[in-house]
Structure formats: structure tokens, C-alpha cells
Structure 1
Amino acid sequence: MDRRVDGLLVRPFSVKMSEDYVHEACERSIPTVIVNSPLDSIGDLDFCGTDDVGGGRKAARHLLDLGHRRILHLTYLHQCTDVLSREEGFRLELEAVAGTSCLTVHGCVSKPTETENALRELLTGPDRYTAVFVAGDGLAEVVYLAAHRIGIRIPEELSVIGFCDLAQARYMIPPLTTMRQDGYGIGKRAAMMLFDRMSGGAKDGEAVSVRLRTEMIVRESTAPPSGS
């Protein structure tokens, strides 16, 4: 910012670090648009991202329609607001159906063995969970590895649904069912919002919030629970 930038697009990964930068930008009256993960502690900023709550609900509905009632939610150790919103939507949809059970487990892409150990007991035995909703496609790869090592077949014995539709999702074995985010649309809309703010087209004090819908991409990693 010491180079006198005209505007900022901020995609928060570390909430604390992002808040520090954004506070400084606000103090310098630098137009700023937040992308994907809202900074709830800072109001009156334009935002463009995904309808994560709606996406979480769609993921839950897909698994419920297949007949799953014992479902794990695997999420990241360090969570931004977009990831929390996915879980919120997922749980809201599950709560509307009697007899469902949902347990949240925290995992880490860089520590697959620890995640496998956390999943092993939950995915085996008579009361095992039959499906996993992961907060991001990267974590789905960890679930695939854990299932392989435990000896659980996807989707015959375990359904897995991701979020994001990263490039590798279609090449996983089996190809991953996931919620697709409109990354191109978000980037384009966020840039337009920033240019509008920089040119004075947006009215001061009136923050704009835009959330683009997700798309369910059904591939081969989800199926009815075995024995149903």
C-alpha cells in the first residue's frame, strides 16, 4: 500500500492478517472489495463470493435424497467464514429431516495420517457413518487416501461429496461429486465492483454484497448407503 495502489481485491485466508490490511486500507480511504470470505468484524465493505449456505444445503439434500442419515462433516482446522457458512447450510438442511446424525471432524491436508486416524473409528463398525461432506476438494483427497488404507470402497461403502470443483476433482478415482463455485464469475463481478467504487460510480457508505449460486456436479463418488 506504500506504492499508492488505487484499489484492493482481498481474498482472506488468514482472517487476522486480512483484517490488518483492510483496516489500513480503510484508514487510507482505499476502495476495497472482499472476495469469498466476508470479514464480519469490518462493516460497510463491498463483498463478492459464493452462496456457501445454499451450497451446503444442496450438498446435504443430495446425500439425504440418496438415503444417508449418518453423515460426517470434515472441515479445516483453521476456518474462514466461507467454510463456516458451508457447514451452517449443511446442518440447516439436515436438521429438517428426523433421524439424521452429523458429526464435525477437523482435518488437515498436510497431515493425512492424523486425519485418517480420526476417521478410522467413525467409518468402521456397526454404527459407522456412511457419507462425508468435505469443506473443500483438497480434503476429499485425504478422505480417499484414508478410505483406501482402511479398506473402505467409494462409493459402495462410503459416499464423499466435496466443495469447489477444483481441477483434480474430475480425475480422482472415482471422480468426485462436488459443489462447483463460479470462480470466473466471482472474479469478474468483484473487479467490476472495485472499478465502480474507484470511479465513484458506487455511492459512498452503501456497501454492495453479491453471492453467486453453486452448481451440483454429480460424478461417481456418491451412491445410496450399502444395504439400503
Structure 2
Amino acid sequence: MSATSVQPPRDDQPETPGGGSATLAEIARAAGVSAPTVSKVLNGRGDVAPATRSRVEELLRRHGYQRRRGSVQPAPLIDLVFHELESSWAMEVIRGVENVARQESLNVVLSESAGRLSPGQTWVDGVLARRPTGVILVLSGLDPAQRAQLTSRDIPFVVLDPAGDPGEDVPAIGAANWQGGLAATRHLLELGHRRIGVIGGPGGMMCSRARIDGYRAALETAGVAYEADLVRSGDFHHEAGYTAGLALLGRPDRPTAVFTGNDLQALGLYEAARELGLRIPQDVSVVGFDDLPLARWISPPLTTVRQPLTEMAEAAARLVLDLARGRQPSTLRVDLATRLVERASSAPPRAGAEGPAGE
């Protein structure tokens, strides 16, 4: 992966909007500044007073101003921003974006929003100054003002695996999370499990809710009652799987199987099971989600739902480049299929393990 400090060309000439109701000169008059000052704001220049910048940005947003496509040549960059960079999950996404960027002779600028689901204004200012060909936001989103800022500069953006509802007009690439949760739980049901725990991700994330909804749908279809006390949630890290695993597996009526919201949580659950003297899958079956490389390396190898992260990232990169070239996609929302990958961490429950509570 590579980054660059390439600065885009500047232009201080008035431009006409690509669908807005005001020209750059009209924006300047309304703001009480010169047209070159408005152009500085559009180009992310730092030599504009904060109050003036805010006034100009508000007028650009209010009038729906959009820079004419082709009036400024974008830098050969894709901006890729994550809400956090702490696992091989992110590496799979980076690999996919890099695959496309390399084919297109583009560089990738990587950023992290320190766990926030929306990057801050400092990041936006950097994007405006870099003038990239496009932006990909991973598990992140933009507030209306930030979206207006990118749109007014004709900088296309795509959300990958959106944390919340990005809106009908925002291009987004995701995965079939509901179907994945359904497949994971159905697999455990078909093995004979009836008392199935689940560890979900953050409740505010769409992917987490969809996986839990798929779990519930599989139980309902099989005629197995949903038990709220078998449901735990946390972030998508190892520690959350460990803590929730201790709570679930330490019960006298523990579940015979657990579906985790991702593979890192499953890794934490493995640790909890070992600490409690339980064997996988003899005492508890485990199914994860993502199919990261670690799923094949741990012992026993993890049964999991494959989320095609690299392919999702490639699709997001191609989509943002299509938008940059003025091509309108047939649909703004694409969910790639997930599939169950069976390995050695899931097996039928031991005879008598289900008992009355699981019937």
C-alpha cells in the first residue's frame, strides 16, 4: 500500500455548478467575499478565516453547489478511511482496494477515525486539500454537511459495510448479513443443537442487528424458542468474545453451541472455553463470521460464515471510480453473498446435553 503527498492543481476561476442553483460568483457575493476566496474554500486551502469558511460552506450546501466535472483534474488517489484499524479484517479490505488501485495506477491514502463511526472535520479538510479521485468509508459514514462538502467538490464517495442506514442516495457495498446469521444458526440446528447462544456486535451497527435477526429467524423456522438470556453483545474484538463467553458458558444451563458476531469474538470464546475446562466441539460448538485467515489456523479450525471482504472492497473501489468517470450505476446498494464454511469447531451435541431445557 502506498500514500502520496501529491497536491491537486488549483483554480481560482469562477465555476458553474453541476446542478446547483448558484454560480461560484453568486456564492461569493452572498458570502461577502471574492470568488477566489470561495475557490480557496472549495480547494481546501488553509488561508481562509474559520468564520468565512463556515459561511461559504453553508452557502455551498444550501444552494446545492457542485463543481463542474472535469473543471479540476483530481489527484490519482483513493482515500480509504476506517473507523478503526486493529485486525486482519481491515487488511482484507485494504487488499481489495489496493488490487483495483494498482490496476488503475492509483495510490491509496489510508486513514483511521479512532473508533468514531463518522470521521471528523480535520479528515474532511484533508480530503478537500488532496482532491482524490474518490473516497471509500469503511464502517463509517458522513454527516449531511460533510456529504455536501464532498459533493460540492465533485468528489464521489462509497460506504463499505455501512454501520447505519447510509440513505437511499448514498452508494454502499455490503454483505448478506441476515442470510449469514440464518445459515450459521441453521447449521447448528441441523446438527441437533437447540440451546444456541449468540454473541452479537455493537447494537448500533446494521450488520450486527442483521446477523442477530438471521439467528432469530432460523430459531423461529425450526420452532425453537428465542431466549433473551442466551444473547450477549459487545464490540467486534477478542475481549468481547471472551467476556461474553465466560458469561454464557459459565451458566449451569449453558448453551451447547454459540454463534459469534465475528471471528475475533470466536477467538475470545475459545479462550473462555479453555479457561472453563470445556472442549470445542465436544462440549460446545462454535460458529464465527468473516472467515479471516485466523479461522483456519486456530485449533480446532473454526466453522464460520465467509464474508467476501476482499471482493466487497474491490467492488467499492470499482464503484467509486465509475462514479468519478460519470457513470451512473444501475443500483446504489449492493450486498454480496455470504456462505457457511464448515470446519472442525461444530459437531452434534453430546448425548443428553440438550436435556429438557433444549427441547
Distance in 2 separating the partners of 1:33 and 1:51: 18
Residues 24, 145 of structure 1: CA spacing in aligned structure 2 closer, same or farther, 3 A cutoff?
Answer: farther
CA contact (8 A) 1:69 1:101 kept: no
Structure with the greater alpha carbon radius of gyration: 2
The residue aligned with 2:105 is none
8 Å CA contact 2:159, 2:173 repeated in 1: yes
Identify which of 336, 341, 347 aligns with 1:212. 336
Measure, in 2, the Cα distance between the counterparts of 1:25 and 1:79.
Answer: 25
Cα distance in structure 2, aligned partners of 1:88 and 1:62:
16
Mapped to 2, the partners of 1:25 and 1:43 lie a distance apart of 17
Structure 1 pair 8/67, CA: closer, same or farther in 2 (3 Å)?
same
- 2:160 matched to 1:35? yes
Residues 162 and 176 in structure 1, CA contact (< 8 A), matched pair in contact too: yes
Which AA in structure 2 matches 1:178?
T
Aligned partners of 2:260 and 2:266 also within 8 Å: yes
Question: Any conservation in 1 of the 2:288–2:305 contact (CA below 8 Å)?
Answer: yes
The CA deviation at 1:67 is: 0.9
Distance across 2 between alignment mates of 1:22 and 1:223: 48
For residues 1-228 of structure 1, the aligned pairs below 5 Å read 1-2=127-128, 3-12=130-139, 15=140, 18-20=141-143, 21-22=146-147, 24-26=149-151, 28-37=153-162, 39-77=164-202, 79-102=204-227, 103-108=230-235, 112=239, 116=242, 118-120=244-246, 122-124=248-250, 127-202=253-328, 207-227=331-351
**Counterpart-to-counterpart distance in 2, 1:31 and 1:157:** 50
* Deviation, structure 1 residue 24: 4.0
- Distance in 2, matches of 1:124 and 1:53, equals 28
Specify whether residues 201 and 56 from structure 1 end up closer, same or farther in structure 2 by C-alpha distance, changes over 3 A only. Answer: same
Q: Is the 8 A contact 1:45 1:207 kept in 2?
A: no
Secondary structure, counterpart of 1:19 in structure 2:
coil
Distance 2:164 2:157 in 1: 12
Would you tell me which structure has more strand in proportion to its own residues?
1
On the 8 A contact 1:52/1:86 being kept in 2, the answer is yes
For structure 1, the 5+ residue unaligned runs are none
| Contact 2:288 2:302 (8 Å CA) reproduced | yes
Question: Distance in 1 between the 2:302 and 2:292 partners?
Answer: 10
Give the 3-state SS of the residue equivalent to 1:187 in structure 2.
helix
Deviation at 1:116, TM superposition (A): 4.6
- 1:166 aligns to what SS in structure 2? coil
Whole-Å separation in 1 of the counterparts to 2:212 and 2:182: 9
Deviation (angstroms), 1:118: 4.5
Q: Distance in 2 between matches of 1:117 and 1:189?
A: 35
User: Please, what TM-score do these two structures have when normalized by structure 2?
Assistant: 0.56
Amino acid at match of 1:69: R
Runs of 4+ in 1 over 6 A off after TM superposition: none
Number of equivalent positions: 221
Distance 1:63 1:23 in 2: 46
Gaps of 5+ in 2: 1-126, 353-359
User: How far apart, CA to CA, are the structure 2 residues paired with 1:58 and 1:110?
Assistant: 22
What is the Cα deviation at residue 171 of structure 1? Answer: 1.0
Q: Distance in 1 between matches of 2:161 and 2:247?
A: 34
| Secondary structure in structure 1 of the residue aligned to 2:255 | coil
Q: Taking structure 1 as reference, are residues 169 and 25 closer, same or farther at Cα in structure 2, changes over 3 Å only? A: same
User: CA separation in 1, counterparts of 2:328 and 2:219?
Assistant: 39
- Please say if residues 137 and 157 of structure 2, whose CA atoms lie closer than 8 Å, have aligned partners that are also in contact: yes
Distance 1:160 1:6 in 2: 42
CA distance in 2, matches of 1:133, 1:174: 15
Instruction: State the identity %.
Output: 35
**Cα distance in structure 1, aligned partners of 2:190 and 2:237:** 33
TM-fit CA distance, 1:190: 1.5
Residue deviations 1:120-179, cap 9 Å, x none?
453255522111110010011110000000111110110000000111111111110001
